[in-house]
A = this chain, B = another copy of it.
């Protein structure tokens, strides 16, 4: 991933979330459309997924009155891309309104793991990106320019469950059939 691609991906993650943040305030007119739908948690999240062909898919968290129906920003970006025929990815960026690098939840990690390489860069972007040099996050493990934490699904979901496990031989046992 080039420096330009990295910057474009982070910008797209902010645009995915589409609430007031660094990028929009500085460079874009206030848009009429809201992207995140997070009236219950009031915790807006944006994500952006860079596909192998260079296209970027933006996601936001879309909540539901029945909380279990919520789909996070990362999963929104992934189902957008996959349902458009993309299954090869270069990098993922995630941003919230919180001034820290916030990690994906376990559900998103499971969905990322289905489609992304173990070492694909995942950029966790603080809501106040870019943090200035000398910020208190500087020098912490994995923190890179602007306060971004760089990680991967191999790090976030070690010893993961995936398609391979379903193919393993069984020791026996019986399962009930559907009615």
A interface residue numbers (CB < 8 A to B)? 16-21, 31-44, 58-60, 62-73, 75-76, 78-80, 82-87, 97-100, 102-111, 113-114, 127-128, 151, 155-163, 165-166, 168-179
Q: Is the Cβ of A83 less than 8 Å from the Cβ of B35?
A: yes
Q: Which residue of B lies closest to A172 (CB)?
A: B20
Q: Which residue of B lies closest to A39 (CB)?
A: B178
Copies of this chain held together in the complex: 4
Q: Is the Cβ of B161 less than 8 Å from the Cβ of A66?
A: yes
Tell me the smallest distance from the CB of A108 to a CB of chain B, in Å. 7
Q: Is the Cβ of A63 less than 8 Å from the Cβ of B67?
A: yes
Q: Is the Cβ of B65 less than 8 Å from the Cβ of A165?
A: yes
Cβ of A86: which chain B residues have Cβ within 8 Å of it?
Answer: 33
Q: Is the Cβ of B165 less than 8 Å from the Cβ of A102?
A: yes
Q: Is the Cβ of A127 less than 8 Å from the Cβ of B162?
A: no
Cβ of A98: which chain B residues have Cβ within 8 Å of it?
Answer: 165, 168-171
Q: Which residue of B lies closest to A84 (CB)?
A: B35
